[in-house]
Amino acid sequence: MYKIKLLTKILAASLLLPFSLAKKKDKPNIVVMFADNLGYYDVSAFSDDPIFTSTPNIDRLAQEGTKFHHWNSGAVMCSPSRSALLTGKLPIRNGIYPVAFSEKAEYGLPLNETTIADYLKEEGYATSIVGKWHLGHSKKHYLPTKRGFDEWTGLPFHMAGGSIEEHICGVDVNETLWMPLYKNTKIVQQPVRIQNLAQVYAKAATDFIDKSVNEKKPFFLYMAFSHVHQLCAPRFSSEQGTCQWASTMFSSLSPVATFNESVLEMDWIAGEILKQIEKSGLVDNTLVIFTSDNGPYISEQSCSGKKGPFQGVWYGHKTAKQL
């Protein structure tokens, strides 16, 4: 069937293909975990150097499944790379090219584009996105629940796209662009509390799996991590001076967590999802893919991911306007 072929082409872009796809007649459940600005060496399964952050849950996918070393992103920016994943088209063909949507954008993924979620709903799947959307938010018909997803818990754009608590973006001179947390089409928290965002994401994902099992429906979970994109710069500090997540889960320096601690937090979320799949007895009938959108944002230096063996010049010497 064409729809299944399309899905296969899209999933072929992934890095890690874990768990076994069932030899059952049942439709397989599908989980796509999509990291934000993650580097090649940020996943310890790709590095033998012990100084790098350990990611045991994600590594398990490589150990029990298939690890892909040859990977190409659909684009070097957040919005276009996500549009490529969800539509199976290069961004220049689906209209999301060449940059990411800003917090003031009045448009989104073109309404004539069909997503994986649209196709899978036609096949009887329950569909959910947890995490970062970044394909349009100013009008409700651009939100995920209008693009094939039954439900959404997450943020509308990248972590540096709006002010978060006492973190201020350079573009937000009036301190009014507070980052919202959405539940479907409603803002349920603004500004979002980063300290417990990982727990919110994990609960939304595991509750969706549990609900789908109870309803006896195959499911598609798009776990679009907000991790490990840099936050806005702290109010009285340079962007390079302090990193990342105001997490209390792993940080001994709360409320300012390091980049590696944000990687640990992402790995913890992945682990909670894998536990729920096992608890529900779905391991033999669930396809799980973990991948990243476009590689590390290396101009953030110590606050960015590890590029590994790649050249990694993206945003290293050019401004957004030049790109």
Residues annotated as part of the active site: 78, 134
Angle ∠(72,9,158) on CA atoms, nearest 5: 55
- What residue type is 242 in one-letter code? T
Contacts 24+ apart (CB under 8 A), 185-191: 185/140, 185/143, 185/145, 191/162, 191/163, 191/164, 191/165
Strand, coil or helix: 221: strand
Distance CA 213, CA 307 (A): 39
Q: How far apart are CA 164 and CA 159, in angstroms?
A: 8
Residue 277 to residues 4, 151, 266, Cα–Cα distance (Å): 22, 19, 17
Compute CA distances 37 → 101, 145, 299, 322, whole Å: 16, 25, 12, 20
Q: What 3-state DSSP class applies to 79?
A: helix
